Amino acid sequence: MDEIEYVWSVLGGDAALTARVARAARPEVLEARLPVRALASACVGACALAAAELAARRAAPGGVPAVRVDDGAVAAAFTSERHLRIGGREPVSFAPLSRLWRTADGWVRTHANYPHHRARLLAALGLARDTEDARAVDAVGSLLAGLPARSVEETVYAAGGAAVALRTPEEWAASEQGRAVAGRPLVERGVLDASPARTFAPVPPSAGALLPAAGLRVLDLTRVIAGPVATRTLALLGADVLRVDPPGLPELPDQHVDTGFGKRSATLDLTCDQAAFEELLGAADVVVTGYRPGSLDRFGLSPRALAARRPGLVVARLSAWGAYGPWAGRRGFDSLVQVGTGIAALEGTADRPGALPAQALDHGTGYLLAAGVLRALTEQSRHGGSRYVEVALARTAAWLSAGLAPDGASGAGRPHGVGGSAGSASADTGGTRGTGGTGGPSTMGTGSGAHRVCAAGDAGGPGASPWLRERESPLGRLRYALPPVRFEGGPTDWERAPGPWGADAARWV
């Protein structure tokens, strides 16, 4: 069973449909010790097949359209933040305090891109939140050099920050959270009630692209990368996607642009605007959430609570560590999950942890989530029922660490070389623009040589141009990576460019 066949089986799809998928392999892209290129192509391919299946379900008879997955397009999309230009400006990927640090007995990775996470990290270490970046880097490095990595992890987490100690694959597999993650499906799916079958308006072929999600309303309650990638994909396929954020918690501007294509962006305070949210929910077809498990339950946003108020809904949930086990409520990001699950050790050397050539856990999991939503919609049209889909970065990491084995068992015993010896304070270059720590460019891939992300060069080179496009937007002229989800007759670009964060009304079109 190849990787696309496996993902499609996890999604509950008809095995015969995988014959509709053709792949243009490019061995030179997304190079790593782990099979990152195969993971990326499998996640995108399964998502494209789910889109094609739904298109066939809604369009005139003629069978499921053919799907083509090009590794070049996939690699460009998985590194989209590196290709993005906003008015000619390169985006800022990682903040100065988001990086690997050497500790007294190993390494720890911090994530402080958001101002509130930066403030909590500094507070946990007894430093003032207004400490200037360069001084903060020196001070944090000096402090962490004398502390055990696991102690830093717990202290920062207790303060509401984000930090994870480096673990080997064996250490992660032996941990309670690692065991909990390994025991779950790559994509969890289920039925919440016995709602009637969904009736779609037909989507007849026309001069324009075939849009399988046309007419559907998606309420996007996600942040960072994986969740927004999923909803960005649904927007590509024709859905009306409304992203809703708390007014006091702005998204990082460049990140918002990169993942905001095809969507509208609004703010809504659920603590005092519950009626407005219920009005949105009452007309929604899909709700996608990407906050920590349980953090939205007080607003009645668990899958069962949502389905009880809006029968026939598809509820899709994303988390970093999984909605189970002792780490279920912990904050997490791709870079932290790579470090905690042993990937950084597998990709590193005896002297230093490494990194994947892209934030592949985020992007791969995002396409898995979108695929799960599309398959849930198809199954609703046949069998009815409100449905849920759940994915986790750590579960995707387990599958990757196992070499994409069908059982996806974590900690497959692959060789690794990063030790836990003490050393002097040493912060990597993850805080500078364009060299952003785990998931950053080739300078961070210490175990695998120079990472190539495009078919024949870096962003802007001749090999990158087929997968990049420029257009005007309310934010200036944008250069961006094109969507990799392609099927015969389907869309090739988003209809809508991203606009300013929170600038749209919190209502459906």
Which positions are annotated as active-site residues? 362
Which residues, at least 6 apart from 302, have a Cβ–Cβ distance to it below 8 Å? 296
Whether the CB-CB separation of 430 and 50 falls below 8 Å is answered with: no
* DSSP characters over 348-361: S-SSS----SS-HH
Q: Structure tokens of 289?
A: 């959430």
Q: In which element (H, E) is residue 245 found?
A: strand 240-245
What's the CA gap between 170 and 415, in Å, rounded?
A: 10
Place of tokens 């990682």: 94
What's the CA gap between 254 and 113, in Å, rounded?
A: 12
Strand residues in 305-413 grouped as ranges (E): 314-319, 387-392
Whether the CB-CB separation of 493 and 257 falls below 8 Å is answered with: no
How close are the terminal C-alpha atoms of the chain, in Å?
43
Q: Structure tokens of 118?
A: 């930066």
Whether the CB-CB separation of 325 and 319 falls below 8 Å is answered with: no
Q: If DSSP codes are grouped into helix, strand and coil, which group holds residue 189?
A: strand
Which residues, at least 6 apart from 142, have a Cβ–Cβ distance to it below 8 Å? 425
What's the CA gap between 210 and 359, in Å, rounded?
A: 30
Whether the CB-CB separation of 467 and 76 falls below 8 Å is answered with: yes
Q: Structure tokens of 470?
A: 């420029």
Q: Structure tokens of 135?
A: 């001084």
What's the CA gap between 223 and 288, in Å, rounded?
A: 10
DSSP β-bridge partners for residue 107: 102
Q: In which element (H, E) is residue 136 found?
A: helix 133-144
Longest dimension (CA), the chain: 67
Residues in the chain: 509
